[in-house]
Structure 1
Amino acid sequence: MLAVSRPMMPRGDWLRLRTLVNLRWISIFGQLVAITVCYRWLDVHLPLGPCYAVVAGAVLANLAFAWSSPTNRLLTEAEARLTLLFDMSQLSALVFLTGGLSNPFVLLILAPVVIAASALSLTTTIIMAVCATGWVTLVTLWHLPMELSDNTLLETPGLFRFGFWMSMVIGIAFTSIYARRVSTEIRTTTKALLATQMALAREQKLTDLGGVVAAAAHELGTPLATIKLVSTELMDELADRPELLEDAALIREQADRCRDILRSMGRAGKDDTHMRQAPLTSVLREAAEPHMARGKAVEISARSEAGMDDRIPTVLRRPEVIHGLRNLIQNAVDFADSTVWIDARWSDDRILVRVADDGAGYSPQILGRIGEPFVRSRKSPADPLRPEYDGMGLGLFIAKTLLERTGATLSFTNGSSPFLKPEERISRSGAVAELIWPREALAPENGPLEANPPFEA
């Protein structure tokens, strides 16, 4: 079953016009309140005409946006960039008219930079950060001073002004990097979780498909039996007519063939309650089967821990377990030199599965981040470890997420130091993935299995 993925939407297409329009209305309201309070209650003389003209420009721009396009429209990258640049320029003009860095509201110049870092591309974020730095520098060097009613000028000392400018520049860089890092982490995790859900849904559909096939095989059995019976009677009646007898024999032969096909399909796909559980080794072999013919030896072993019952535990054949184990085994086969070992151990209170290979092991720089989505191994000429690795960690993330949902605890390590020479390594020197389940989470209590529900006639 193939899944058609939608192309990645440009980051600028994640911003709605309504969002920026509403934010600008809030900004306009705040600017009007600040100008009015400073002029009427704090006795600060401001150039009211130019100040209100700058605010009126923002009002007109907002009305034009609201009337020209549906507010639920997604903005393109260029449109979002121009909108944020307009907001930054409008605010900077207002700061220029009201004292430059002496105006504490100069900090709001950071807002468009944070929005760009959170929702737009890296190029736009850099452009916004450079423009914000430029505007802050301009209003630091050139601005209209604020004046009280007694003609006292509100001017900050030069050293303080320089320190405030430096803090603004550093703040622009820090907040943009911080916001972008956090938003990127959230987005990659969201995409990886979506991929996990799709993988699990696919595995569940394949499991459900078996029940459909079994039901079809059962329902078609009766009409095929009727066809076979009628064709047999026809053969008896047409014994003296060889040309028709041959056709009747062909009908019977094809009916038998259909019966055999449906019987094999039913055995493979029947949603039998007995098939919902299986010995631990059978589940491991089912998970490893797609990768056992890829030129690497896959060895499966199972034994109880010291002093425990040697009977192999029966575990639930959950899609999460099989798909998660399959991803771990695929990773081991991909990077093994010749052999992959799958070891199962159990006791009264836990079940342990260890997947190891004889490859070069995990690269040290990603060992602590294994299981995170979209972790790419950084290769360099001096780092020949796993040179063929070009994945993004999504398979291991899916495996870790699915298996942890079943109650497993995962750990990743190397069987030996990855810096040893090939001749110095032990046999199981490569990557090791270890899973530990509480026994009650994976193995149901031993007892009689439920009876299969009867098929309706």
Structure 2
Amino acid sequence: MLRAITRLRSYNTKQHSDDTLSKQMRQLVQLRWMAVLGQLLTILVAHYSFGVSLPLGQMFGVLAGLVVFNGLYEISLRVGRPIHTAELFVGLLVDITTLTFQLYLSGGATNPFVFLYVLQVGLAAVLMAAPLAWALLGVATLCFLWLAEKAKPLDLPLDYHLGFESFYVQGMFICLLLNAALLVIFVNRITQTHRERDARLAELRQRAAEEEHILRMGLLASGAAHELGTPLATIAVLLGDWRHMPELKDNPDLNQDIEEMQAQVRRCKSIVSGILMSAGETRGEASGETTVNEFFDELIAEWLDTRKSQELHFENRFGEDVDIASDSVLKQTICNLLDNALEASPLWVGMEVSRDADDLIIRVFDRGPGFDGEVFKHLGQPYQSTKGRPGSGLGLFLVFNVVRTLGGEVQTKNLPGEGAEVILRLPLESLVLKED
């Protein structure tokens, strides 16, 4: 199971780092399709409506090259190929080069659409680091200077005095609207992507802090287990001596109390031994193979044997059995839920196991007062409890973290009338014992 957890963590980390670049490239691809359509319409309108003589064959050839380039990126995004930062730079460089050739064939620096360079540089400033953005600005500047020297100007009448009736003014107006609209659309999308990325990073930082907290608790638990070994052994010896004392041996009530104390000491020693055994082991290395049904049958039997519950209603609706790892951490996680339910509802606790496609569903519910409103808002965070005891509120915190590590999710709700319900959804793949 350790290898499954490691794969899930590495996959999630890689997905977080690649997701932003993929979204940005997808938005660039969409913007490029809009540019292809816009260029096609502009060429046709200018040539056939405004009577501007244009080399249609060459301009359509440049446009076809841009279509092929963008189509390849569209396919790569659909198959899930990882995107690198340099590809964003190359993509904008291709856009600038294509725009330059189109302007060269249609008036050069005198073409009102020359201001589309501003859009390309603006996108670079939003998407990339400052050095790359400045580099693209330099490329755009050189392209403009080259167009001013080499390109043939448009054969348009000098009709600027006509105001908006001037073809050139109309072209500049269209270019202004196009630049502004595309910048607003794209910058808003990029800003949303950055907000989502920042939210994911904040979540990862929170998880790292919680895992560090769990590590500290684990170290403290291991140290406490070492320290508790000697006093528990002393108590066990003293209780054994008490049972043979004449004044206590003939008292059945005291004998029964001593027997109960000895049972609880044995349980404490078993818990301490389990902590010490697992302290030096990586999680999952000592896990044996079992099945879903066997795992829960053993868990329920062990829990009933060590807790004083008048009634535990257990229902297994899992169906066809599946091999999984017999993992002590998962067992302790579920026992934490049952313990919380028992404390809230000492007379009745319910548990149901079922399957939803490739997920294991575990429901634990009770007939207690339910979650307090303020605590309900912060479930899954450490020390969120209404018990009023120092150190309480760690049970659900550990449950949330273990389930999240396994790639699952936790849902909590108060039931109508009375009681609360906690639902664990765990992918079965993360529970399978992996062999080398």
TM-score in terms of structure 1 length? 0.37
Greater relative contact order (CA < 8 Å, ≥ 6 in sequence) = 2
TM-score in terms of structure 2 length? 0.39
> By percentage of residues, which structure has more helix?
2
